[in-house]
Amino acid sequence: MDLTYSDADQAFRTEIRTWLEDHLASADWAGLKGLGGPGKDHEAVEERLAWNQHLAAHGWTCVGWPVEHGGRGLSLWQQVVFHEECARAHAPHGVNHLGEALLGPTLMAYGTAEQQARFLPPIREVTELWAQGYSEPDAGSDLANVQTRARLDDGGAEVGGEWVLDGQKVWTSNAHFSQWMFVVARTEPGSQRHRGLSFLLVPIDQPGVEVRPIEQLTGGSEFNEVFLTGARTGADLVVGEPGQGWAVAMALLGFERGVSTLAQTVDYARELDTVVARARANGSYDDLVLRDRLATLKVELSVIRAQGLRGLSSAEPGADSVFKLVWAGWHRRLGEAAMEVAGHDGLLTRSADGSAYDLDDHQRLFLFSRADTIYGGSDEVQKNILAERVLGLPREPRP
Ligand SMILES: Cc1cc2nc3c(=O)[nH]c(=O)nc-3n(C[C@H](O)[C@H](O)[C@H](O)COP(=O)(O)OP(=O)(O)OC[C@H]3O[C@@H](n4cnc5c(N)ncnc54)[C@H](O)[C@@H]3O)c2cc1C
């Protein structure tokens, strides 16, 4: 396994680094540095959208997509370089990760030519944003328990018609500023578990869709409840065959290869630096136990990065689950260490007038990193995968 970057990759690094430095230095964008991302996705959405469209205008969105679909066709390592350089430059975080990294590749693999022509260009140009309608109140880790229903209403016509959806989704990130949502729904009445599900593309801005933001511990609202009450979408907006949506839904999750998460370790290193700087400034660095914890976090981050690279460069079974477990647990421990360092200041959560949350970056890190071990497959789910698929332990009882 050769983990060194080739000369071509290094040349590409110089190209994107220079471009980002030039453009982020401009008065239009300089103020957006570091905005958005996990725990902060509610920040400056309009401005980040404009930045993303600026990237698109210069061909810097969907860089891993094949050229025939309008991408740059970058190799895996060049995609890593791209995301690392964005993180290094403290570029504002993207607003359409779900469309670009997950739905786009799914449409390329399973969508019709018409679906690809209709939906890929606006994802690339960042003119249509997407939300993921998988989770429900009783279907999270156990996604096969989806209860949202969809039926085909052909209106008496021989062709055409519409899907009509009823049900509830929850924890739907970004639905409040997205135009579209991909939805896993049960289209075969009486079907059980992963059978009889379909993968539908549903416009959000319509009377049958109600989006209710959920306020998080951090005070922001990145995710939502989404109520579908007679929501409609075109009969042709099913991806793959009706009733075969489970395979499409799982394939979509498989497209998350961790390229951007690996680059996130650049952000993590910066966060750790700010915690260390606070420890120096307030004297808590003198606490030997705390020093030990901070040094351990530094060492662990190097190991996590190596594990991420390993996951990308090999098809080792379980590598993705190991990576998810180690980075999510690390980030939580960083949040906890940040609160130790902050001391009493970490307890102050009200603005001067007592009215609202007014968190500093370390408090937000501490609170939001509790979610890291839940989304994208919880710790327990990752351990079940490792136990059953890698260690060959007996399968846990299924409902
Ligand atoms: C920040 C954030 C953003 C999210 N964004 C989206 C989104 O955009 N779209 C979307 O569809 N969903 C989204 N989710 C939802 C996320 O996918 C679910 O929270 C996750 O799948 C867990 O499901 P749940 O919350 O229903 O918990 P449950 O599945 O009810 O789990 C509760 C607890 O039981 C444990 N558990 C469950 N099953 C087992 C088992 N078999 N063995 C051992 N332990 C088990 C879990 O690990 C957890 O600790 C988001 C979640 C978060 C936190």
- Asked if residue 134 has its Cβ within 6 Å of ligand 1, the reply is yes
Does residue 352 belong to any structural domain of this protein? yes
Confidence grade of residue 258 (pLDDT, cut at 50, 70, 90): confident
Instruction: Domain count for the chain, please give it.
Output: 3
**Is 374 close to ligand 1, i.e. is its CB under 6 Å away?**
yes
Note whether 207 and 279 are same-domain residues.
no
Among candidates 144, 142, 164, which has minimal Cα distance to 153?
164
Which is the catalytic residue, given 100, 136, 256, 271?
256
Report how far ligand 1's centroid is from the alpha carbon of 374 (Å).
Answer: 5
- What is the pLDDT confidence band of residue 291, given thresholds at 50, 70 and 90? very high
**pLDDT tens profile 98-107:** 999 999 999 9
Q: Report the alpha-carbon distance of residue 389 to residue 396 in Å, rounded.
A: 12
CATH of the domain at 372: 1.20.140.10
Q: What pLDDT does 310 receive?
A: 84
Among residues 73, 95, 117, which one ends one of the domains? Answer: 95
Q: In this structure, which residue's CA is closest to atom 51 in ligand 1?
A: 375
pLDDT at position 41 = 84
Rounded Cα distance between 170 and 248, Å, is: 20
Q: Are 285 and 279 in contact (CB under 8 A)?
A: yes
Beta strands in the chain (DSSP E): 130-133, 149-153, 162-170, 180-186, 197-203, 209-213, 224-234, 238-239
Centroid of ligand 1 to alpha carbon of 377 (angstroms) = 6
| Residues 84 and 145 placed together within one structural domain of the fold | no
Active site residue 256: yes
Please give the number of the atom of ligand 1 that sits closest to the Cα of 377.
21
| Domain presence at residue 122 | no
Condensed to tens digits (0 to 9), the pLDDT of residues 345-391 reads: 888 765 666 665 678 899 999 999 999 999 999 999 999 999 999 99
Judge whether residue 317 has pLDDT over 70: yes
Section 250-266 average pLDDT: 86
Phi, psi torsion values for 393, nearest 5 degrees: -75, 160
CATH number for the domain including 198?
2.40.110.10
Distance 325 CA to ligand 1 centre (A): 14
What is the arithmetic mean of pLDDT over 118-133?
98
pLDDT digits (tens, 9 = 90+) for 71-103: 999 998 899 999 999 999 999 999 999 999 999
* Average pLDDT of the chain to the nearest whole number: 93
Q: Is residue 356 part of a domain?
A: yes
CA angle 147, 150, 154 (to 5 degrees): 165
Give the range of the structural domain holding residue 314, as residue numbers without chain letter: 259-390
**What is the position in ligand 1's atom list of the atom closest to the CA of 38?**
1
**Pairing status of strand 130-133 against strand 180-186:** parallel
The confidence band for 256, taking pLDDT boundaries of 50, 70 and 90, is confident
